[in-house]
Amino acid sequence: MGSEQPFKIAVSDDALALLKRKLDDTRLPDEVNAAEWAYGAPLADIKRLANRWKDGYDWRTHERKLNALPMFTRTIEVDGFGELNVHYVHQKSTAKGAIPLLFVMVVRPGCFLEVTKVLPLLTAVSADHPSFHVIAPSLPGYAWSEAVLKKGFDAKHYAELFNKLMISLGYTEYVTQGGDWGHILTLTAASLYGPKHVKASLTNMPICEPPTFGTPIVLLQCLIASFTSREREAVAASQDFFKSGMGYFREQSTKPQTLGFSLADSPVGLLAWIYEKLVTWTDSYPWTDDEVLTWISIYWFSRAGPAASVRIYYEIGDAVVGFPKTTIPVGLSFFPKELARFPKVLLPSKGRIVFESEHEAGGHFAAYEQPEALVGDLRKMFGKSGPAAGVVSGCDGY
């Protein structure tokens, strides 16, 4: 493994000029009358954002802000795939016993910006709560991590990359937090590298396979269970999402390269493809135009280009509704506007559940929408009286 190298974002003037030219040449579609969000991203929103991106939005200002983050790159060798240069945020706490925490992003349409609001909270030092060293990698093909150009890079390879990254940083024992793909990938890491290295995990998207006749006990539990009104509402919302909200997934998991031509060549196409999810997957989060454009710009200016980010769906799309089995302590954070929410009766068979928390607000991007709530769960789970207190040797958080 290579040594850690400090990293600063430095988008070239030529890249900015190309973006401006492409935005100047944009041809927008028409729109059905009174369509609003029923057909996808509204024309008025995309027109406003595209105009702001072209005239008014200052990437250099946001680039300077992003460069205040402690960012690094390191080359990690993954079995069968050679060396991959990985971009990551690594913020250390000043607490002597801080707990190493691997934070894994939502994945497309997420990015490393998800960690920015929780960083100061997680690394804060207090006698009242634990503190964490935070490591937030950009997955291969995202932001400034190198893309994988060989078939077959699946969940176990991501887990291997994470584990080797953490060990290279001196964290031979650590805990994890993730949602969406972060849920799948961190728990895959736990199943492969716990309890020796991965000691505990908190997921904010606790999803799993639905019960079948192949899992008769769980199926019976579901049939006789008395679900709460909140669970019934969650199941109904999840069914609606799987029925009408999975078009993006079908395309990305079957023909990502076809979609990639549009994402790589059209900044407005990329904007619309991601903006729709930023709005509809959050719990009425008040996005500013510059927040959205910074998020999209990270994709546009990324090392491998925006097409690389969709390939994970092709390689491991079958695992998207899963809860890899593990023996380590697992915590569950439930946010009401998460895309897929399952009855709690389904979850205990998948792991040693030691912590649960229900929240009144928040959606798919919990760390960005509700940073205090998510950090609060981590503090409760790993604090002095928490169910996962002291799981990392010599690192109690204080």
Average pLDDT over the chain reads 92
- Catalytic: 180? yes
Question: 64: which residues sit within 8 A by CB, 6+ positions away?
Answer: none
Element spanning 337, H or E: none
Question: 232: which residues sit within 8 A by CB, 6+ positions away?
Answer: none
Q: pLDDT grade, residue 351 (50/70/90)?
A: confident
Rounded Cα gap, residues 327 and 352, in angstroms: 6
Q: What is the pLDDT of residue 217?
A: 56
Q: What is the pLDDT of residue 107?
A: 75
pLDDT one-digit tens code per residue, 142-187: 999 999 999 999 999 999 999 999 999 999 999 999 998 899 999 9
Burial of 80 (0-12, 13-18, 19+ CB in 10 A): exposed
Of 158, 248, 275, 313, the active-site residue reads 313
Question: 117: which residues sit within 8 A by CB, 6+ positions away?
Answer: 367, 368, 371
Our CA angle for 304, 310, 312, nearest 5°, is 100
Identify which has the larger pLDDT, 246 or 165: 165
Q: What is the pLDDT of residue 222?
A: 60
Longest CA–CA span in the chain (Å) reads 63
- Taking residue 258's Cβ as centre, other Cβ atoms within 10 Å add up to 10
Q: What is the pLDDT of residue 263?
A: 97
Rounded Cα gap, residues 384 and 380, in angstroms: 8
Q: What is the pLDDT of residue 169?
A: 97
Q: What is the pLDDT of residue 214?
A: 55
Overall residue count recorded for the chain in this entry: 398
- Catalytic: 39? no
Q: pLDDT grade, residue 207 (50/70/90)?
A: confident
- Catalytic: 133? no
Q: pLDDT grade, residue 282 (50/70/90)?
A: very high
Of 87, 364, 368, 377, the active-site residue reads 364
pTM score above 0.75: yes
Q: What is the pLDDT of residue 387?
A: 98
Q: Can you say how many angstroms the Cα of residue 17 is from the centroid of all Cα atoms in its chain?
A: 30
Of 171, 180, 283, 299, the active-site residue reads 180
Contact 53, 267 (CB under 8 A): yes
Q: What is the pLDDT of residue 216?
A: 58
pLDDT one-digit tens code per residue, 219-242: 555 655 667 888 788 878 888 888
Rounded Cα gap, residues 171 and 244, in angstroms: 42
Q: Can you say how many angstroms the Cα of residue 376 is from the centroid of all Cα atoms in its chain?
A: 18
pLDDT one-digit tens code per residue, 363-376: 999 999 999 999 99
Among 68-82, 132-146, 323-337, whose mean pLDDT is lowest?
323-337
Give the residue-averaged pLDDT of 200-210: 84
The pLDDT of residue 208 is above 70: no
The pLDDT of residue 10 is above 90: yes
Give the residue-averaged pLDDT of 57-64: 98
The pLDDT of residue 325 is above 90: no
Q: What is the pLDDT of residue 324?
A: 78
Strand pairing class (5-6; 71-78): antiparallel
In whole angstroms, how large is the CA radius of gyration of the chain?
21
pLDDT one-digit tens code per residue, 73-110: 999 999 999 999 999 999 999 999 999 999 998 877 89
